[in-house]
Amino acid sequence: MNFFERQRTARSTTVRLVVLFVLAVVSIVAVNDAVVLYLVRQGPTSTIVGALVAMSVFTLLIIGGGTASKLIALRAGGAAVAQSVGAVAVDPSTTDPRLRRFVNVVEEMSIASGIPMPRLFVLEQEPGINAFAAGFSPADAAITATSGALDRLNRDELQGVIGHEFSHVLNGDMRLNVRLIGLLNGILLLGLVGLRFLQFGGGRSRNSKGSPLLFIAIALVVLGFVGQFFAGLIKAAVSRQREWLADASSVQFTRQTTGLAGALKKIAGLPDGSALTDRHGAKQVSHMLFGEGSRRLSSMYATHPPLLERIAALDPTTTPQQLAELEKEFADQPPDGLAEDASLGLVGAGVAPPAARPAPPRPDATVRVDPEGVSARVRSVTAEDLTRGARLSARIPPPLRAAASQASAAVPLILAMLVDTRPAVRDVQLRIIGNRLGQPVAAAAATQASALAGVEPVLRLPIAQLALPQLTARPVGERTALRTTLDELARAGATITVFEYCLGKVVGGYLLDAESPRDRSRPGRAPVRAVEDAAVTLLAVVAAAGNADAAAAGHAFAAAASRLLPGRQVPFAPPADPWAALDAGWDPLNTLDPRNKQVLVEALVAAVSDDGVLTAGEAELLRAACTVLRCPLPPLVA
């Protein structure tokens, strides 16, 4: 199942979630009304009806208010979820060995998948082995790991766990999971309101055994337990199958089962397992976690498949007796992940040994691609992609990696990618930066431009991917000025190059997605006919950009148009101002439904690979276009 199919099935899952939520609310209202009916059963009909209506409205207001308030609180996305359970942000430039290894593993997966580096968090007070991914889209994604995961897992095992969580980022599971937190918060709020009623009415209840307030408070507390019952069922119904798929995706990413299986075995063998000590936090994010967040949980409420079944799926030779032996072994000597890395010959920073890194490839390298094969790689990672991501990551010069990891240096670094080598254009661009963002930023951009001069072109987008999360830490006004400045820098020369345009759109789109992740991450529903003009313009611009010869460009466009609009003869008419024409089309194109967006991606591939090969420049253009369409691709040429 590819990303576009997963988007379509996600809608049916969302419908199922809404139906379960409505059934839970109806059941809770019915139980509450039954209690009220018992209390006022001797009264007149008008009193009974009024009490039932009042209690129904009161219950619905509590559920609706609790749901709405939680969803509003989580509008900021993954970081808000991580912080709500007490997680602490990880500095991407950290030198702490265990945190450095965490950063490196996620960086490699980020580059391999073509999505921006997620923000990282750690639950420092949690000794259990666990992790979760949260957010509405890759632009606001956050991956959180417990201290136990960082301390106890070796690099392969940590990579297996992160691969599991990364699949939730790539598959779009995070959006559903965050919405589930909000929906369930309203149901669970009833019990809390009941406890407050008991505290408020406790004194009166001693003097008035029949106090209605006391009965209502007790009813709400009981309903709190009913709410927990339904919340557990809903989470279990939504989560279990997705956890199986995430395990399978992790194996696909890493092409080995030992890492993920080893992490699960350590969970089985260690006293803390995967449990979280913060019970409230565990309940809130239990459906997001890598492993069960509570030690004692009925199988009916379990949000994950049984641990032994997950291990057996990866290593069929595992028996309960072997896990019992692990418990004894870990009781005497708890595992140390960094020490295991050292014994395996991995360096202290947590990356692969230098000998595993090949020499840089030729800059004119090409690959053969096919439209269906490329569309299947949208928001996906293969073992080859992960290897390529690790190699690309290892080739990023340390000073540039450090700059990409710092909020103060990331802005000049991104700007420096567009600073021209021609002195006259360079001077104009630095003046633009100084006027928009200040002279210190302009001076830093000039310095970074010199550092970027000798960097392989294929590393520019990976460096930008690492720097993007740091941009969201800047004030809103500075982020807006950055988008404007990138556009002005691209237009400072006589012509706008493909890379200049692509970088501006990738950075600008990321910042807009990060500012409003919930609204901009919704899958579209439009058919091709609704955005036909914008789609044809995009194909014409891409075909012209990838072919200097007009006849070849026309042939490439015809091949692309025949995929998008089969049976139609569409004239090849590239616009005079291609970049302005594209700017007008991105928003309509992002309203396409998943199936038609897949067809558009395949048409783009046909346009850039009509001659049978994909050059580095064409790959850069294709990846940037797909990123703006929120269909990120892994590096196709490395």
Return the active site residues. Answer: 165
62 token code pair? 């509590």
Buried b (16+ CB within 10 A) or exposed e, 422-434: eeeebeebbebbe
**Cα four-point dihedral sign 105, 108, 109, 111:** positive
DSSP 74-96: TTT-HHHHHHHTT-EEPPTT---
Q: Give which of 165, 146, 131, 150 is closest to 247, Cα–Cα.
A: 165
Contacts of 500 (CB under 8 A, 6+ apart): 418, 489, 490
Q: Taking a C-beta distance cutoff of 8 angstroms, is the pair 309, 251 a contact?
A: no
Alpha-carbon 392 to chain mean position: 21
Q: Is 76 exposed, middle or buried (0-12, 13-18, 19+ CB in 10 A)?
A: buried
* Degrees, nearest 5: CA angle 430-510-616: 75
Tell me the β-bridge partners of 196: none
523 token code pair? 């899958």
Q: Which helix (H) or strand (E) holds 332?
A: helix 320-332
In sequence order, which ranges of 363-438 are alpha helices (DSSP H)? Answer: 371-375, 383-395, 398-404, 407-416, 423-437
Q: Is 401 exposed, middle or buried (0-12, 13-18, 19+ CB in 10 A)?
A: middle
The packing angle between helices 578-589 and 498-515, to 10°, is 30
**Cα four-point dihedral sign 581, 584, 590, 595:** negative
In sequence order, which ranges of 85-172 are alpha helices (DSSP H)? Answer: 97-113, 147-152, 155-171
CA distance 470 to 432: 22
Q: Which helix (H) or strand (E) holds 490?
A: helix 476-490
Count of beta carbons in the 10 Å neighbourhood of residue 628? 21
Q: Give which of 500, 458, 373 is closest to 635, Cα–Cα.
A: 458
CA distance 618 to 368: 12
